[in-house]
Structure 1
């Protein structure tokens, strides 16, 4: 994409923010760019109509991606990585998995019901698989290489230093 592909400076700024922060949601775009809500909605619609931006609904937020850069499977991973506790769960599973809900609850200092809810969402998105291990159920990441790669490539757009420390072993990407 060249500057001529997007004629308006405001639309270029919106596209650039989406490219810099793939998976960003509408409210975060509003906060970052300081455009009026209607203006942002209008320009986003134009970018989508011109097939420059894709929309992904993660169940809570509508997220935006540069159209040429992210396949649907990658958008699913990024949607999860954009949610703080899903990102932390994935980091623990990648670093030390497979792990049980109880172990994850202890590590994240969150109620088991909260961890279970996030694991359920991750399982629905086919990012984690569960397996019975005796009396407990353990979870592991289904495609660890994809998650590691996307986290590493877009690490600067996340603000979670806890996960950065857990996943610091991926400097090789």
Structure 2
């Protein structure tokens, strides 16, 4: 292995350690590397047991091995700004009705429902019924708060979420 390959592999590994749950496209963008180059080094890192690739929600996300399956799923979702905002609101306020959660986060109820559906599927958020109301709560508050501190949505992820919010607000009017 050449010194350049070592440096590139180390750079990719360091980025995955800094941003657990990052996907290939983000690595390509963030590190200004060719997709094939990133994929080659990811395969090598995976074979060496230095990273774990997990297919979640339509993308393969990469982590260092210390994250368990639940944490990997939570991190993949928390990279989305809207999901992170919902979880942060629930952590701050405690259990809330779904409609109130949407209102506090400033999103349409349908957008809140879509995100909380995925969060519930990954067992990050619990949904319970109180009569006709759906109550939302964070399943594992301490672990979730720790993971929330590890994510920083990328610019493209934030733009997608903000466009969705803008569109929702225009449709709601």
Is the shorter-chain TM-score for this pair beyond 0.5, marking a shared fold? yes
Residue 71 (structure 2) pairs with residue 101 (structure 1): no
Q: How many residues align?
A: 151
Are the aligned partners of 2:70 and 2:122 in contact in 1 as well (CA < 8 Å)? no
Q: For 1:52, what is the secondary structure of its paired residue? A: coil
CA RMSD in angstroms, aligned pairs only: 1.8
User: Structure 2 regions of 5+ residues with no counterpart?
Assistant: 156-173
Following the alignment from structure 1 to structure 2, what is the Cα–Cα distance between the partners of residues 24 and 71?
A: 15
Are the aligned partners of 2:95 and 2:136 in contact in 1 as well (CA < 8 Å)? yes
**Could you tell me the TM-score, scaled by structure 2's length?**
0.80
The match for 1:60 is 58
Change (3 A) 1:110 1:144: same
Which of 40, 49, 59 is the matching residue for 1:42? 40
The match for 1:142 is 139
Which of 125, 128, 138 is the matching residue for 2:125? 128
- 1:48-96 CA distance string (max 9 Å, x none): 11111101222132111012x2111221221121111111111111111
Following the alignment from structure 1 to structure 2, what is the Cα–Cα distance between the partners of residues 105 and 158?
A: 20
Which of 87, 92, 103 is the matching residue for 1:90? 87
**Over 2 Å off, 4+ runs:** 157-160
CA shift, 1:27, in A, is 1.1
The match for 1:117 is 114
Q: For 1:8, what is the secondary structure of its paired residue? A: helix
The match for 2:30 is 32
Change (3 A) 1:76 1:111: same
**Could you tell me the TM-score, scaled by structure 1's length?**
0.80
* Higher RCO (C-alpha 8 Å, min separation 6): 2
